[in-house]
Each structure stands twice: as structure tokens, then as C-alpha cells.
Chain A
Amino acid sequence: MAVTRVFGARIKRREDPRLITGTATYTDDIVIPGMCYTVIVRSPYAHARIKRIDVERARKHPGVVAAFTGKDLEGKVNPIPCAWLIPGSDLKTPPHPALAVDRVRYVGEGVAVVVATSRHAAADAASLVEVEVEPLPAVVNQEKAMQPGAPQIHDGVPNNVAFHWKVSSGDVGRAFQEADVVIRQRMVNHRLIPNAMEPRSCVAAYNRGSGDLTIWMTSQNPHIHRVLLSGILGIPEHRLRIIAPEVGGGFGSKIPCYADEAVVAFCAMQTGHPVKWGEDRRENYLATAHGRDHIVDLEVAAKKDGTITAIRGTCYANLGAYLSTAAPGVPTILHGLMMCGPYTIPNIDYEVYGIFTNTTPVDAYRGAGRPEATYYVERLVDMVARKLNMDPVEVRRKNFIPKDKFPYTVATGITYDSGDYEASLETLLRIIDYPNFRKEQEKAWKEGRYLGIGFSTYVEICGLGPSQVAGAVGFQGALWESALVRVHPTGKVTVLTGASPHGQGEETTFAQIVSEELGIPIEDIEVLHGDTEMIPMGWGTYGSRTTAVGGAALFVACRRIVEKGKKLAAHLLEASEQDILFEGGRFFVKGAPDRAKTIQEVALQAYLAWNLPAGFEPALEATAFYDPPNFTYPFGAHACIVEVDPETGTVKIRRYVAVDDCGRVVNPLIVDGQVHGGLAQGIGQALYEYAYYDDFGQLLTGSMSDYAVPKASQLPPFETARTETPSPHHPLGLKGVGETGTIASTPAVANAVVDALQPLGIHHIDIPLTPPRVLAAIRQAQGR
């Protein structure tokens, strides 16, 4: 009999029918009797002293229940904390009030809130709130913010420097002295807006009798939000319930603990009404964390044969006006430590300044620090190749960590678990037929057409992560994950995961893991998540950790079910426990496969408890808390082929090939989907997306008609392939794939454009490679 394996099967996402037929329940769909609506009044000024806020006219507006300012919150709502306190960096953590009291520091900062019986009344009343301010000079650029005489954004943070962090290893000075070539390049990794399809939203309901507060919210990590909001609101953790219903994407922007949810909860507690709040898209652009925003001075040292001997750099990371929850860790731990890429670069000297500016706070956005690192390293590798007149593929090969050297500790001190970089690159070269492409390119150049190819061979750190390391790098929490597997009396299964999927498809992949491990049909398995009252403590979904860490916890829990089941099966089959085997959902006696009990039969007996072995606890469920021994390090090789229109500067992607290695694959269809989405965002950064502030701190790309989220018509068809190098420390050999597309693709596109323009002698153009910017580079190169 042919057995179709569930693990590794291209099963369609089980969550999709409800999502695509409009029957899913998002936070904004929740309606509670007596519910009121809030609008948060936001600062139109980037930097100003508040002289007066008057909510009296708003209070008198028909339908208005209450209106509050920052002063009303004082002593009742604690400042919003930062939860990643990177050590050894002199980190400053100026207070972040939930509503501004005496100063506003970015356009979009909340200054007042209106509660009304309808959305319309709340919106009308919000426009009646009077805010009188004394505008202060603003600064939006991180380098300018560091200059003497720049506007000072927080007391006690001289020159707006929140931290200075450094990673250093080897003898960088000597490497540069002994280098055959040294290349210096300033690069910009510009600011992006995450653009989850569902904006942030919450509903808070407070029971004055019991003191229980329930908050439905768009969260990637409800348990973290419970801990933080408990502290902010002074509500004991066991009285606070956070529920993340259907969540329409996050890309990191629903990790942070924002002021808004705390303000809405405060409104519910003050008024006794359940209260709803939801961002519109414009508000989302201003009030939800942004991503990236670096300016970096980079240097690379290499030998004539292409061996890269050192990278040195100074990164100026724009943090926005306040420290968002994970902000300090993103440009340091998740970024600086990845500056070796997949290469044996022995000497690293990289320092990062985190800088406050009068802009929306910056935090994790898909990839969070690794796309930036990959972009810099992959651009530098191409520059070395160009300078040495070598094939960029050869320079990569020359510097790859060889596959027999894993686990490999890179110069920044982290240990990559496994890798076969050569194999993914070879697969890629085969797919694109590299030698042929170069011939085609030569021909095109002769015809005056600018055809180019860009490579990106990347490695990333994910599967966050070992809790001990989390503690050592200042993360104010742990990074293990929980799973509870409950086999019901009828053999159906409920899985509770502490991760909080919000589009990644774990309701399908986790069911596949359980089905594989327990031999139970996938349709009999339900995966639940996102409710702190129901789910054991867990740390949520981000950093491509859900399957990598949560999946491991699930595996351990399943093994516990099997172990317990074996004990009962042995008893029921009157055999010794050592003689019981489990396969395909059946417990049977070794050598006598007909003496068997199905897992469903065993489950029923475990619950009936009529006939249990001595000391056997009834029921069949198991919980596991899995703390990974290391991070996982997915890798791969991407190539992008572009043609640049020299008359308009338009970049047309002719082909995009992604070869990824995320270890073993639970569901190839979902992995493809994750890669596709990631590519769209990475290509978006390379060609289209950028958040632009003017000197007054106004976000000029404040809507989707200004900020170019790529549409399907602006993207090429994606070709995906995989190699499979299991993680040696993960029980299922998994690594994680949620961010690889974003991490790898931006430099592949940028390298391709520069490669195409080689005949013009162009060496670098900063992303985003918009047509005007590319054309300007072309015309400059042509001396026009």
C-alpha cells in the first residue's frame, strides 16, 4: 500500500476558505452590546511644545461619552516600555507617554482621545479637539540629528544618540593594511512602511465588577502584550486577557506594544463601556512602526584572488522619536552580527549609532536587520568582483564557508548550524543557464540594451531563539515556545500553540506535523492560537520562529502523547511496553502487527479510565515548552535578471529565480507562498517603496497613492527551487522561511541593475532604484 506522507505534502492552506470568502472574524468585526468608538487625535506637528489641549467642545458634541488628554492618563497609564535593552551600549530609554503631555515628537503622536457612541460622532468630535502648540525645530535625518546644534528631542539624550553599539573581531586594521584592494562606499537602506493588509485595531472590555479586562487586538504576540499591558495599565496579569482574532498580516509591525491599545483600554476602564479603535490607512502610516532606515559608511578589504579579509562600517540607524518595543535589537543583534554573510570573512569592525529623530518610531519589519546586512554585504561582494574584474559568482565561491566546516562560528561570534552554500548556488546557476546569459548580455550591450544579472547569496539568523542568548543580548523576555496537544476521547485533536500565526499558514503546517507524528487524519486536527486565557504562555510569531521553535515544541508534545499512548496500549494489549511499536496511528506488538490498538481507541480508553495501568493518569494530552539550543540559519542563492530602459531609467525584471534552503519543508506550497510574498516586499524596497519625510517632519508618502506597494503587475513571475540542508539541532530539521525572500531579494535586484549598467561605468546607485534616480545615474555617467 502506498502511503502518502502528510509531512512535506503540498496541502492547500486550511485557513484560506474563511479568509477568501469573507467569513473570518477580524478585530474590527467584533461588536459588543454597548460598545463605543474611539478616535485618537494625533499631532500634525513633528516637534512642538504643547501649550494647551482643550477637549471641552469635543465633550459636548452629540454622542460623545468621554474625551481624555495625556494629563488625564498621568498616574493611571504608565509609560510605554522598550523591551530590548542591548547591553554595553549606554542605551538611553527616555519616557514614552501613552498620550503626549507637554511635547510632541513626531507627526502622528497621540495627544487626546475621544470616546463616542458611533464612529462618526467620534470622528466629528475629534476634529473639535483644540490643540495649541509652540512649534519647535524638527530633525528627520539621523546624521543631522547627531550634529551639534540639532534640535534635542529628549531630555538626557545628548545629540539624540540613544545608543552606540559595536561588534569587533580579528585585526581589522592589519587586514586593511595588507589588502590588495579596498573599497569604500556609503549606502542607504531607506525607511519602509510595513503595510499589513489589516491596519491595527483593538476592542477593550472592562468588567468593573470582576476587574477583568479583555483586549481583542491585532497582535503577533498576545502573551508579550499581556505582560507589557499589565505593567502599563496596572492590571494583574491574571485579570488581563489578550485575544488576537484573525490577524491580517503584521510583517513585524504588530509585535510592538503601542500606546494606542493602552489608551483604548484606559477608555474602557474609565467609561465602563466596551471600546473599539481602528486605524485608517493614513493613521497606519503615521502611527504604526516603520522599518529599516540606515545610512552606513562601509569599507571592504580583499586580496587579489578575491578573498575578502575584512569589513568595517559605521551605521547610523534612525530609531524615530521613541524606542519601540524591540527597536534597539534590530540594527544591532539582528543586523550587526550578520555582517559576515555566508562568508569566512575573519575580521569585522562594525559600529552602530541608534539615533532619535522627529519621525514615526522604527522597529522590526520583515527580515528586521538581516535584509540590511545582506544588502550591504552582497553589494560589497559585487564591488570587489568588479574591482578585481572577477565574476561575482567566483568571488562568492571563493569566500563561502565550506559545507564541511559546520557548525561554523563567524567573526561576529555567532555559530551557523549548517549550510551548503555551494549547492544552492550551483542549483541557481543551472536554472538560469548562467554562461548563456552572459553571452546574451554581451549581445544586448552591443545593441545598446542594458541587460544585467544580480546575485544574492545570503544566510540569515532565525528560529529565535535560545532564551539564554536572548537574555545575554538584553531581550527582556525568553524565546522558547509552547505547544499543547490534546487528543480528545473520539480521537480528534486540538493543538494549542503559543506562537500567534497571522497569515503564515501554521493552522495547516502544524496539523501536518501532528498528522505525521500521530497518524491522525489532518481533518481531525484543529490548531488554535492567540488567546492568553486558553493558550499556555508563548512568545508569538516573528523572526521566522513559529515553525522553527513552535514546530519543535509541537513535535516534543506529540512524542509525549506517543509515549503515554504506548504505556496504555501495552496494558490493553497485555504486552510489555518495550514491545509496543507505533506507526501510522497504530500501537502494535513487535512481531505481531495484528495485535494492535489505534490511537483513537487508546485515547478513548485513556479518558474512560475504566482500565488503566497502575499509576497512569487519565486523559491523553501533553504540553511541551521547547527552548532551542541554537538559532537556525536558512540560506540560499537568488538571481535577478533586469533590463534597464536607458531613456527613462525604468527597471524591468525579466526573470527572478530564488533557490532557498530552509531545511526540511513541511509544506512546499506554503513555503513557495512565503517566498513569493517576501520577494514582493524585497523587490518593493529595491524598486518602489520608500517613506519620505520633508524637513519639517511631514510624511509626504502618507498614503497608498504616494507610497508604492508593488502590485502584481509590477512584479515578475517568480521561479522558486530549493536545496535541503536540515538543521542538525532541530528535531524535525526545520529552519524557518518567513523572511528569506525579503532578506535576499533587495540586493539581487540592486546588483542586477548595476551589472546592467556596467558599460556606462556605473558602480553604485542607492535604492530605491526609481526611474528618475536610475536615469540621473545614467545621465551623470554619460556626462550629460
Chain B
Amino acid sequence: MIPAAFEYYAPATVEEALQLLRELGPEAKLLAGGHSLLPMMKLRLSTPKALVDIGRIPDLRYIREEGNTLAIGATTTHWMIESSEVVRNRVPLLAEAAGRIGDVQVRNMGTIGGSLAHADPAADYPAAILALEAEIVAQGPRGKRSIPAAEFFKGLFTTALEPDELLVEVRIPVPVEKSGAAYLKFPHPASGFAVVGCAALLTLDGGRCQKARVAFTGVTEKAFRDRAVEDALTGKAPDEKTIASASQKAAEGVEPLSDIFASAEYRKHLAKVFARRALMAAASRAH
């Protein structure tokens, strides 16, 4: 459990970090909370020549309310998000997802930007981020750009970020009134990662779903929004029967992951169960 030798840089600003990335090239890796990268380095599965530690950039750690948007800095920890009054009040779905990550130690160190950029297929945030239709802000030599969540996750540990870009902020539109949301997960008994995680967000209008958002993590090699389930709910009253029938459409036509703990078939089955449970919880909270 001893990593190969590496150089360590601790920039004080985003600009400095970007400069280092440019100078060091592809053999450098960004270090945030270190909860994904360091274990891989200790196993020598990852042997970067240099680490650029963005965890010491004070300007990247914040939670701000900007009108109807919540802006969260990249190195904001899971614990800060889970316990933030403003997140809990305005975007409870995100606080709920943050609170289900790993354990207290992990949540004290791990960061939202690190988790999203790592794009672990079983991470918790991606489902919430997708359901909330958040935007991910990347900064690079060409300046800042905003990536919609739906376009961010490209595949297994792969995102829309360019190698010279830094994820600097997550922007979450605050759900309108009469919305209800829930994140439910079936954790792996050892790792705590989501075997299946489902984020559901319902916005009601006159007792009917004006908008339904359902996103999964853990099921396939990248988190995804399940439009079939969403469509089956839109315009309908979210009663038990409608939700049950919509949930049956979950994870259809996708290729689920399979491992020694849970087969693809089991994951697919769980997706339907957790879609129903998450939607029922979301419906009960929508008022």
C-alpha cells in the first residue's frame, strides 16, 4: 500500500492550478479529497508523476445562493453539503444524496467536484445531479464553460471534461414549489457504493406531474436519466398505481453492470423497485 513516487504541487488559485496542469501535461493528476485517487495510487493502479492538490484553493469551497440557483464550489465536501441549511432547505435531494455517501470519514474529506469528475459508475451524486438538471462549470485555458449534467457523464470514469480543464463549480436550479424529491439507494454491503441508486424529482401542478425526473446510478457504466419512467408519469397524478406502472419501465433497454455481488438481472430488478420507492417518497414530499 505504498504509492510510487510522485511530485506534489499545492496551488493557491484556480489560475495557478490550470497553469500547472498545462506545464505538467497528462502525467499530472488533480487531487481534491483524495478518496478515489489515493487508494488507487496505494495499490499502484494509478501512478501519476505529479499531483496538483486543489484542496488548498480557498476559492473553490463554498455554497452560494444566487437567485434561483445554488452554486457549489468544486472542493466543497460531502459533509458541508449534507449539513448545509441552505442546501437542505432549497435542494434537499442533493443533501440527501450527499448524506448517503460512504461514511462520516469519507464525507468529511471527499468533495463534490472530485466525485463528479471521477465519474465512478456507482457514485451517489450523479443520479441527483441528473434529476436536478444541474450544470457543471469547467474552467480551462479557453475560459469557463457550462456543461449540462445530461451531457457530462460519458462513460465509465469518463466525463466531458477536457484534460486541461478544472471542474470549478456545480450550479443547481432550485426546484420550484410543489416539488418533492428523494434519493434512495441499495448500498453494496462492503463498499457502501450504490448497487442501485435512484433520484426522483416530481413537480406537481394541480395534483398532476407537471415534470418528473428519474435518474439512476450504479445500474450501468454511467449514471443516466430514465426518460421512459419520466414520460409515463408526466401529466398524471402520482398515485401508487401510476408510479408502480411507470417504475416497471425503469432500466429497460440498458445494459446493466454485473459483478460477483449483483448480476445484471438483479440490478435491473432493483432499479424498478427503487424507482417505485423513490417516486413514492418524492410524491409524498411534493406539496
Do A and B actually bind? yes
Query: Chain A: residues with CB nearer than 8 A to chain B?
Result: 119-120, 123-124, 127, 280-282, 647-648, 650, 687-688, 692, 700-701, 704-711, 714, 770-772, 775
Report how many residues on chain B are interfacial, defined by Cβ distance under 8 Å: 22
A123-B191 in contact (CB<8A): no
Complex Cα–Cα for A705 and B195 (A): 13
Known: A706-B260, A709-B190. 12 other contacts (CB 8 A): A120-B2, A120-B5, A127-B4, A281-B1, A648-B270, A648-B273, A650-B186, A688-B189, A771-B186, A771-B266, A772-B261, A775-B266
Within 8 A of A (CB), among B91-113: 103
B251-269 vs A: 1/0 string, CB under 8 Å? 0000000001111001001
Q: Are B266 and A706 in contact (CB under 8 A)?
A: no
Q: Is the CB of A770 within 8 A of B261?
A: yes
- Set of chain B residues within 8 Å of A708, measured between Cβ atoms: 188-190
Does A648 contact B260, Cβ atoms closer than 8 Å? no
CB neighbours of A775 from chain B (8 A): 266, 269
Name the A residues within 8 Å of B186 (CB-CB): 648, 650, 771
- B266 engages A772 (CB within 8 Å): yes
In the bound complex, residues from chain B placing their C-beta under 8 Å from that of A687 are 189
**Shortest beta-carbon distance from B125 to chain A in Å:** 18
**CB < 8 Å neighbour of B190 from A282, A647, A650, A704:** A704
Taking Cβ atoms with an 8 Å cutoff, the residues of B that contact A are 1-2, 4-5, 42-44, 103, 186, 188-191, 193, 260-263, 266, 269-270, 273
Whether A707 contacts B190 in the complex (CB less than 8 A), given A120-B5, A700-B260, comes out as yes
- Do residues A124 and B5 form an inter-chain contact, with CB atoms below 8 A? yes
Instruction: Please name all residues of chain A whose beta carbon is closer than 8 Å to the beta carbon of B103 when the two chains form the complex.
Output: 711
B199 CB to nearest chain A CB (Å): 18
A640 to chain B, nearest CB (A): 18
Contact of A705 with B190 in the complex, beta carbons under 8 Å = yes
Please provide the 8 A-B residue pairs with the shortest distance between their CB atoms, ordered closest to farther: A280-B1, A708-B190, A705-B191, A708-B189, A123-B2, A772-B266, A647-B273, A688-B189
CB-CB under 8 A from B4, the residues of chain A are 124, 127
Closest CB-CB distance, B39 to chain A, in whole Å? 8
Chain A residues with Cβ under 8 A from B189's Cβ? 687-688, 708, 710, 714, 770
Contact assessment for A692 and B1 in the assembled complex, using a CB-CB cutoff below 8 Å:
no
Chain A residues with Cβ below 8 Å from B266 are 771-772, 775
In whole angstroms, what is the CA distance A170 to B4 when docked? 64
Q: Give the nearest-CB partner of A119 in chain B.
A: B2
Min Cβ gap A691→B in Å is 11
| B190 & A772 in contact (Cβ 8 Å cutoff) | no
A772: B residues at CB distance < 8 A: 261-263, 266
Query: Given A705-B190, A705-B191, A708-B189: A282 and B43 within 8 A (CB)?
Result: yes
Contact B2 A706 (CB under 8 A): no
Query: Which of B186, B188, B193, B269 has the most C-beta atoms of chain A within 10 angstroms of its own C-beta?
Result: B269
A282, B1: Cβ atoms closer than 8 Å? yes
A127, B44: Cβ atoms closer than 8 Å: yes
Chain A CB within 10 Å, residue with most, of B1, B189, B260: B189
**In the complex, what distance in Å separates the CA atom of A477 from the CA atom of B2?**
39
Which residues of B are found within 8 Å of A692, using beta-carbon distances?
A: 260
Q: Which of A120, A647, A706, A714 contacts B191 (CB 8 A)?
A: A706
Could you jot down 5 A-B contacts, CB within 8 Å?
A281-B1, A648-B270, A687-B189, A706-B261, A772-B261
A709 nearest CB neighbor, chain B only: B190
Identify the interface centre among A648, A692, A705: most chain B CB within 10 Å of its CB.
Answer: A648
A416 to B217, CA, bound (A): 55
- A341–B189 Cα gap in the complex (Å)? 32
Q: How far is the CA of A709 from the CA of B5 in the complex (A)?
A: 31
Measured CA separation A247–B186 after assembly (Å): 36
Q: How far is the CB of B4 from chain A (nearest CB, A)?
A: 7
**Minimal beta-carbon separation of A278 from chain B (angstroms):** 10
Q: A687 to B190, alpha carbons, bound, how many Å?
A: 12
In the complex, what distance in Å separates the CA atom of A679 from the CA atom of B273? 31
Report the nearest B residue to A692, measured CB to CB: B260
Chain A residues whose CB sits within 8 angstroms of the CB of B1 once the complex forms: 280-282
Residue of A nearest to B273 (CB): A647
Please report the C-alpha to C-alpha distance between residue A600 and residue B72 in the assembled complex, in whole angstroms.
70
Report the minimal beta-carbon distance from A195 to chain B, rounded to whole angstroms: 11
Cβ of B262: which chain A residues have Cβ within 8 Å of it?
772
For A711, list chain B residues within 8 Å (CB): 103
Q: Closest approach, in angstroms, between the C-beta of A46 and any C-beta of chain B?
A: 17
Q: How far is the CA of A472 from the CA of B174 in the complex (A)?
A: 76
**How far, in Å, is A338 (CB) from chain B's closest CB?**
30
Taking the nearest CB of chain B, how far is it from the CB of A66, in angstroms?
19
**Chain A residues in 8 Å Cβ range of B270:** 648
A43 vs chain B, min Cβ distance (A): 17
Measured in the bound complex, the distance between the Cα atoms of B5 and A50 in whole Å is 30
Chain A residues contacting B193 (CB-CB under 8 Å) are 705
Cα distance A714–B186 in the bound complex, in angstroms: 13
Distance from A646 Cβ to chain B, minimum over Cβ atoms (Å): 10
Collect the chain A residues with CB atoms within 8 Å of residue B44's CB.
127
Complex: A596 Cα to B260 Cα, angstroms? 72
With A282-B1, A772-B261, A772-B263 known as contacts, the answer to whether A706 contacts B273 (CB < 8 A) is: no
A123 to B3, CA, bound (A): 8
A710 cross-chain contacts in B, Cβ below 8 A? 189
A123 vs B5: C-alpha distance when bound (angstroms)? 10
Closest partner residue, chain B, to A120 (CB atom): B2
The smallest beta-carbon distance between A24 and chain B, in angstroms, is: 21
A709 to B260, CA, bound (A): 16
- Report the Cα distance A775→B272, complex, angstroms: 14
Please, how many angstroms separate the alpha-carbon atoms of A621 and B263 in the complex? Answer: 65
Among A650, A701, A706, A710, max chain B CB count under 10 A is at A706
| CA distance in complex: A687, B261 (Å) | 12
Q: How far is the CA of A282 from the CA of B39 in the complex (A)?
A: 12
Q: How far is the CB of A113 from chain B (nearest CB, A)?
A: 16
Give min CB distance, A403 to chain B, whole Å: 41
CA of A692 to CA of B2, assembled, Å: 25
Whole-angstrom distance between the Cβ of A449 and the nearest chain B Cβ: 16
> For the complex, what is the distance from the CA of A692 to the CA of B4, rounded to whole Å?
29
Chain A's nearest CB lies how many Å from the CB of B183?
17
Which B residues lie within 8 Å of A704 (CB)?
190
User: Residue of A at shortest CB range from B269?
Assistant: A775
Smallest Cβ distance from A654 to chain B, in angstroms? 18
A692 to B103, CA, bound (A): 25
Which residue of chain B is the closest to A710 with respect to CB atoms? B189
Query: How many Å lie between the Cα of A120 and that of B262 in the bound state?
Result: 37
Give bound CA distance, A650 to B266, whole Å.
Answer: 12
Please give, as numbers and ranges, the residues of chain A lying within 8 Å of B5 by CB-CB distance: 120, 124
The closest CB in chain A to the CB of B270 belongs to A648
> How far apart sit A714 and B188, CA to CA, in the bound complex (Å)?
11
| Alpha-carbon distance A714/B192, docked complex (angstroms) | 11
A692 to B42: give the CA distance in the assembly, Å: 23
A657 to chain B, nearest CB (A): 24
Least distance between B276 CB and chain A CB atoms (Å):
9
User: A127 vs B260: C-alpha distance in the bound complex, in angstroms?
Assistant: 29
The smallest C-beta distance from B53 to any residue of chain A, in angstroms, reads: 20
Cα A714 to Cα B189 in complex, Å, equals 8
Of all chain B residues, the one with the shortest Cβ separation from A279 is: B1
Q: Nearest B residue to A118 by beta-carbon distance?
A: B2
Minimum distance in angstroms from B273 CB to a CB of chain A: 5
Give every chain B residue within 8 A of A714 (Cβ-Cβ): 189
Instruction: Name the residue on A nearest B276 (C-beta).
Output: A647
Whole-angstrom CA separation of A123 from B47 in the bound complex = 13
Task: Tell me the complex Cα distance, A124–B4, Å.
Answer: 7
Residue of B nearest to A280 (CB): B1
CA distance A709 to B188 in the complex (A): 12
Complex Cα distance, B270 from A771, in Å, reads: 10
